[in-house]
Amino acid sequence: MIWEGYLQPLYSESYTFYVEANDGVRVIVNGQTVIEYLVDSVTDLDTHLITSKTPITLQAGELVPITVQYYQNTGVGMIALYWLSASQSKQIIPSTAYFNQPSSLPVTGISYMIQAIDVPMAPTDLA
Ligand SMILES: [Ca+2]
């Protein structure tokens, strides 16, 4: 699954990104891969909490392209994306900071935390 869009930070500061995921994830901000952990989680109860290797400097109010690539293998699937800077407390990035297009209004009405549980297949032969 791939999400593509734009982020609008509040501060002209160096940002660190965090992803909590089950299973694998890659995050690209402004063309720079900041998180890459394409690894299955060990169990359904386990999530990876990955911190970006290198902080990335963003400008207040300027839209920066972001791509999140995610895959779910088996069992539970979830992903949450966080950010942190000197003035920005660590939080799940709110929908008001996401834009579909550089000139559009913020994305609204969409949850950016996804949790899904595999539904076992029903037996097909009950004879
Ligand atoms: Ca999983």
For the chain, domain boundaries? 2-117
How, if at all, do strands 98-99 and 64-71 pair? unpaired
Ligand 1 centre to CA of 78 (Å) is: 7
Distance CA 2, CA 72 (A): 12
Give yes or no for a contact between 15 and 85, defined as CB atoms under 8 angstroms apart: yes
User: How far is residue 85's CA from residue 90's CA, in Å, rounded to a whole number?
Assistant: 8
Q: 50 CA to middle of ligand 1, Å?
A: 16
pLDDT at 104: 63
Q: What type of residue sits at position 85?
A: S
Task: Say how many Å lie between the CA of residue 31 and the centre of ligand 1.
Answer: 27
In CATH, what number does 2-117 get? Answer: 3.90.182.10
Ligand 1 centre and the CA of 75: distance in Å?
A: 5
- The model's pLDDT over 63-113, given as tens digits with 9 standing for 90+, comes to 999 999 999 888 888 899 999 999 999 999 988 898 877 766 666 544 444
Q: Each residue of 5-28: pLDDT tens digit?
A: 899 999 999 999 999 999 999 999
